[in-house]
């Protein structure tokens, strides 16, 4: 087989691999690459840009790896040993300069993205944000609407084009709250309350998952975030108020027990300070020495 034929065969194989990869990416359901909100859009753009920049190094490196392995194989007697390339300023500049430039660009992108995608940063909108309190349990998700006074388990609704301010904590092992198509992924920890701001740009049901190994049931610890119109959201809240379930301390104690039940539960009312109680119950009591206590 001539060198030209081998080169053409290699190019054909590379094109075929790229074609198969493109078809797969187009047909596969990869939620993070199908964003449905402004935060998800920014995260996708950051991922794609970083991946494309990385290919500037990855493709030449693998091409040279294959090329060197083939050219300098044991059976190729025509390969020449050229020690004069050692210490070449041109080559040294290329394989040190190009990665430095790319790493610098990626660092700037990461720095800007970290500030632009700060989970504590409120989203700009003419509409007032909707507040939802999230509690990670074993192994289920509790959503409390403090302003509407209702709650739900493993399912919640949010209006389209309205910012949502999530307050997130855990009453179980550390977990991670993530709705891939809307963005986010932020840790939920006992005794702490963190924030996350998201927004849905179009109606639909979006899968939410536990993104942190928190026990044998975490794989089934998923929920649905349903983005609807404001009127549909208001109607859903009113339908919850007709439920016979109420979420007080006793009902919450039953709900918080470990279990693998992924069913959806609605509560017509929720204790107003329940979220704060869940967070504060992990605070250690403070003890004072007699002198400090004024005794």
Write down the pTM of the prediction.
0.81
247, exposed or middle or buried, with CB in 10 Å at 0-12, 13-18, 19+?
buried
CA–CA distance, 278 with 141 (Å, rounded to integer): 14
CA-based nearest residue to 278, from 176, 186, 190, 215: 190
Quote the domain boundaries for residue 72.
Answer: 34-116
Give the pLDDT score at 294.
Answer: 44
For residues 154 and 214, membership in a common domain is answered with: yes
Question: Same domain, yes or no, for 159 and 246?
Answer: yes
| 53 and 165 fall within a common domain | no
Residue 165 clears pLDDT 90, i.e. is over it: yes
Q: Say whether both 61 and 159 belong to one domain.
A: no
Minimum mean pLDDT range among 63-77, 128-142, 144-158, 257-271:
63-77
Q: Which residues contact 162 (CB under 8 A, 6 or more apart)?
A: 125, 127, 128, 129, 130, 199, 230
Q: Are 36 and 202 in contact (CB under 8 A)?
A: yes
Instruction: Answer yes or no: is 148 within a domain.
Output: yes
Using pLDDT thresholds of 50, 70 and 90, give the confidence band for residue 24: confident
Helix or strand (DSSP H, E) at 142: strand 141-145
Residues 93 and 143 in one domain: no
Q: b/e per residue, 211-246, with b = 16+ CB within 10 A?
A: bbebeebbeebbbebbbbeeeebeebeeebeeeebe
The answer as to whether 259 is a domain residue is: yes
Q: Which helix (H) or strand (E) holds 183?
A: strand 183-188
Could you tell me if residue 249 is inside a domain? yes
First to last CA, the chain: 96
Distance separating alpha carbons of residues 192 and 30, to the nearest angstrom: 31
Residue 23 binned pLDDT confidence (cut-offs 50, 70, 90): confident
Give me 62's structure tokens. Answer: 């693998």
- Looking at the structure, do residues 134 and 273 belong to the same domain, yes or no? yes
285 within some domain = no
Count: domains in the chain: 2
22's enclosing H/E stretch is helix 3-27
How confident is residue 226, by pLDDT bands cut at 50, 70 and 90? very high
DSSP class of residue 271? -
Question: Do 100 and 194 belong to one domain?
Answer: no
Judged against a pLDDT cut of 60, whether residue 188 lies above it is answered with yes
- Regarding whether 268 and 170 lie in a shared domain, the answer is yes
What are the percentages of helix, strand and coil residues in the chain, rounded to 5? 40, 20, 35
* Average of per-residue pLDDT across 223-246: 95
The answer to whether residue 18 scores a pLDDT higher than 80 is: no
What pLDDT shows up at residue 245?
Answer: 92
Banded model confidence at residue 288, pLDDT cuts 50, 70, 90 = low
Other CB atoms within a 10 A radius of the CB of residue 198 amount to 23
**pLDDT of 166 strictly over 70:** yes
Residue 6 lies in a domain: no
- Given a cut of 70, is residue 4 above it in pLDDT? no
Residue range 29-50, pLDDT digits in tens = 788 888 999 999 999 998 888 8
- Tell me: pLDDT of 292 over 80: no
One domain, residues 40 and 149 = no
Given a cut of 80, is residue 81 above it in pLDDT?
A: no
Give me the pLDDT at residue 286, please: 55
Stretch 133-141: mean pLDDT, rounded?
Answer: 94
Least confident of 119-128, 219-228, 248-257, 277-286: 277-286
**274 and 141 fall within a common domain:** yes
Same domain, 135 and 190: yes
């Amino acid at each position: 087989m001539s060198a030209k034929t081998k080169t053409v065969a290699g190019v054909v194989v590379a094109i075929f691999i790229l074609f198969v990869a493109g078809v797969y990416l187009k047909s596969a359901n990869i939620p993070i690459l199908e964003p449905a909100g402004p935060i998800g859009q920014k995260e996708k753009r950051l991922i794609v840009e970083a991946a494309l920049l990385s290919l500037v190094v990855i493709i030449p490196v693998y091409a040279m790896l294959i090329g060197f392995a083939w050219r300098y194989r044991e059976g190729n007697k025509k390969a020449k040993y050229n020690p004069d390339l050692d210490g070449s300023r041109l080559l040294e500049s290329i394989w040190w300069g190009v990665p430095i430039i790319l790493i610098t660009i990626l660092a700037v992108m990461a720095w800007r993205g970290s500030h632009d995608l700060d989970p504590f940063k409120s989203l700009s909108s003419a509409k007032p944000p909707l507040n939802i309190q999230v509690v990670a349990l074993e192994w289920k998700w509790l959503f409390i609407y403090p302003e509407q006074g209702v709650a739900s388990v493993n399912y919640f609704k949010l209006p389209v084009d309205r910012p949502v301010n999530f307050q997130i904590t855990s009453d179980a092992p550390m977990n991670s709250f993530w709705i891939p198509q809307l963005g986010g992924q932020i840790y939920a920890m006992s005794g702490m309350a963190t924030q996350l701001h998201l927004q849905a740009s179009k109606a639909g049901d979006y899968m939410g998952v536990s993104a942190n190994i928190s026990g044998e049931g975490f794989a089934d610890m998923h929920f649905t975030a349903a983005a609807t119109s404001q009127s549909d959201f208001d109607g859903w809240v009113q339908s919850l108020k007709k439920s016979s379930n109420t979420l007080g301390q006793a009902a919450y104690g039953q709900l918080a027990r470990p279990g693998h039940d992924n069913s959806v539960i609605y509560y017509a009312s929720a204790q107003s300070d329940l979220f704060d109680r869940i967070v504060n119950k992990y605070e250690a009591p403070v003890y004072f020495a007699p002198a400090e206590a004024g005794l």
